[in-house]
Amino acid sequence: MNYYYITGTSRGIGKAFAEHLLENPSNNVIGISREKTIEHLNYRHFFLDLSDAVALTGFKFEPHANAKKIYLINNAGTLGFIKPVGKLEADIIVKNYTLNLIAPSVLTNAFISCYDTADAEKAIVNISSGAGKAPVDGWAVYCASKAAVDMFSRVVDMEQGIRSEHASTSIHKGFKIFSIAPGVVDTQMQDEIRKASKEDFSTLEKFIDYKVNNGLSDPVSVSRKYFRVLENVGNIKEVVFSIKDYD
């Protein structure tokens, strides 16, 4: 059996990920989010607010004997209020960094610790963003957190490489990690972006045009692109990239 832990499964790309995986009876999906919107025999749900640091640190992964694949997909994230620095609320900054950066870091740490000796294909997929590569006004926390997730992923990949060099392949079956940007996807986040104030967000019209001109990708098609990539994890050398690079 295969086991996939996915954060943010209540809607958008996370829900599409889960529903796509559940088409295969060999897959078990474990959703992690505040709300449950999926009912399936092979689906389990952990109700967890990933912006709550105390609750987050209490989460435990479970052993899965004889698993063929064990994956963690850190999908949950938030753009938060679109405002320039100086207009942001302190508690919102803390919550957004916790959800976007601290949660995937804590879960990745716990995932590697739990399954270090598991003889399975093990991979971590962080949902990145082009906003982690280029600044966008009004998105300071989101841009910074996604850039940090990219670097965190690079370091984990480096550590896994160093460890594999010093261990017998029969002893150490390491983890693959990726930080993959999905492009511009038609999710609730895009709805929130289009409601921003022009005063606080200079590129508002560009995002409105994405919707008007059908420039947004469908979450279902995006999730299927991700899994076409993940079917070939052993052949992918990059850690940080865009899903569009593999169209």
State the Cα–Cα distance between residues 226 and 180, nearest whole angstrom.
8
Residues 57 and 73: beta-carbon distance below 8 Å: no
Give the residue carrying structure tokens 């025999």: 41
Please, what's the b/e burial string for 69-107 (b: 16 or more CB within 10 A of its CB; e: otherwise)? bbbbbbbbbbbbbbbeeeebeeeebebbbbbbbbbbbbb
Which one, of 98, 83, 131, lies nearest residue 7 by Cα? 98
Q: Which residues pair with 127 in a beta bridge?
A: 180
Q: Which of 43, 97, 115, 142 is catalytic?
A: 142
In 3D space, the residue among 172, 216, 176 whose CA is nearest the CA of residue 194 turns out to be: 216
User: At which residue do the structure tokens 């986040």 appear?
Assistant: 189
Tell me the C-alpha to C-alpha distance, in Å, between residue 138 and each of 12, 81, 115, 183, 213. 22, 8, 39, 19, 23
Q: Is 43 part of the annotated catalytic residue set?
A: no
Question: Catalytic residue positions?
Answer: 142
